[in-house]
Amino acid sequence: MNRLWLLPLLALALTACRTSRELPQAEPAPAPAAPATSGTGFVRKVAANTQTAPTLTARIKMDLNAGGSSLSAGGTLRMKRDDVVQLSLTFLGLEVGRLEFTPDGVLIVDRMNKQYVRAAYTDVSFLRQAGLDFYTLQALFWNELFVPGQRRADAAAGRFRISASGDHTLLSLTDAPGLDYSFLAQTATGCVDRVYVTPRDGQDGQFTWTYADFTAVGGKPFPTTMTCAVTGTGKDVGFTLRLSRIGNDSGWPTRTEVSDKYTRRDADEILRRLIAH
């Protein structure tokens, strides 16, 4: 329990980890059924589904899985556009941990062991290696397209290439450093329902983020189920978020205050321990 709650961040960490071990791969991204072309028009269609409210809040149930171990926890997801993504996990009514992403960096609070990590994105090796920053992580939770290093994907629409894939459209971004990104969107609605991130140069591993059970929030579609899985890296991990009571509350603190009784730890040190178990 004291390690499993950190699994959401571990999943992101393992996206950037490289291993030469030959392990079963996750279901690959659909292969293009037609020659790829630039698709600025379709990118704008996808962008039209962006939530317009500046905040989004929800109660969550999270199911965590790592190497045969599993755990279910409750909690909350609170987000403020371009400012914060805050994920609080509770067990038996008590908060056991919190993940907080802001443009300035990452905060991980482990309340069970009274320790925390506070770091800039460039200070955390896996975030730096994978090219992940606040705006990339924000897009995953908001169900939006992203381009690493860009604040808005539609501002770099010409970098995507599109192709038909059944009743879906595949948007591929292959010019980002080190990793390839694929977004599978419903052709009729423009809703993104799957994101694939894969390393280049024959390295193993795949990160998949899946969206399902869409509902209307502020007149825009939004998923009530999000599933993250990392496979083929030597330790398959994943989590599923089920959202309820989705709203646009704004009366909550956007920054977490950490007690001076907590011990500050190094992010890479903690993640190395997690990966080793």
- Beta partners for residue 108, in sequence order: 99, 117
What percentage of the chain's residues is helix, strand, coil (to nearest 5)? 20, 45, 35
pLDDT at 63: 87
When pLDDT is averaged across residues 242-247 and rounded to a whole number, the result is 97
Which residue from 203, 206, 210 is spatially nearest to 181, judged by alpha carbons?
Answer: 206
Of 62-66, 182-186, 220-224, 271-275, the range with the lowest mean pLDDT is 271-275
At 48, the amino acid letter reads A
Percentage of the chain with pLDDT > 70?
78
pLDDT in tens, 87-116: 998 888 888 888 899 999 989 888 888 988
Q: How far is residue 114's CA from residue 111's CA, in Å, rounded to a whole number? A: 5
pLDDT in tens, 13-33: 444 333 223 223 345 555 544
Contact assessment for residue 228 and residue 11, using Cβ atoms and an 8 Å cutoff: yes
pLDDT at 17: 39
Q: How far is residue 201's CA from residue 138's CA, in Å, rounded to a whole number? A: 27
Which residue from 174, 219, 214 is spatially nearest to 194, judged by alpha carbons?
Answer: 214
| Burial per residue of 84-103, b for 16 or more beta-carbon CB atoms within 10 angstroms, e otherwise | bbbbbbbbeeebbbbbbbbe
Computed over every residue of the chain, the mean pLDDT equals: 81
When pLDDT is averaged across residues 111-125 and rounded to a whole number, the result is 83
DSSP state of 31: P
The encoded tokens of residue 53 equal: 């409210």
Q: How far is residue 120's CA from residue 86's CA, in Å, rounded to a whole number? A: 16
With the C-alpha atoms ordered 224, 147, 151, 98, is the resulting torsion angle positive or negative? positive
When pLDDT is averaged across residues 70-83 and rounded to a whole number, the result is 92
The encoded tokens of residue 70 equal: 């599993």
Higher pLDDT, 243 or 164: 243
pLDDT in tens, 34-48: 444 456 889 999 999
pLDDT band for position 130 (cuts 50, 70, 90): low
Compute φ and ψ for 113, nearest 5 degrees: -110, 5
Q: What is the full DSSP assignment across 224-270?
A: EEEEEEEESSSS-EEEEEEEEEEE----S-SSPPPPTTSEE--HHHH
Residue 169 has pLDDT above 60, yes or no: yes
When pLDDT is averaged across residues 234-254 and rounded to a whole number, the result is 90
In order of 81, 202, 206, the CA distances from 20 in angstroms are: 38, 9, 13
Residue 242: is it exposed, middle or buried by C-beta count within 10 angstroms (0-12/13-18/19+)?
middle
- Kindly state the helix (H) or strand (E) to which residue 275 belongs, with its residue range: helix 267-276
Residue 162 has pLDDT above 60, yes or no: yes
pLDDT in tens, 211-232: 999 999 999 999 999 999 887 7
* Domain residue extents for the chain: 4-17+32-276
Instruction: Please give the distance of CA 80 from its chain centroid, rounded to a whole number.
Output: 16
pTM: 0.85
Of 24-38, 71-85, 165-179, 212-226, the range with the lowest mean pLDDT is 24-38
CATH 2.130.10.10 fits 4-17+32-276, yes or no: no
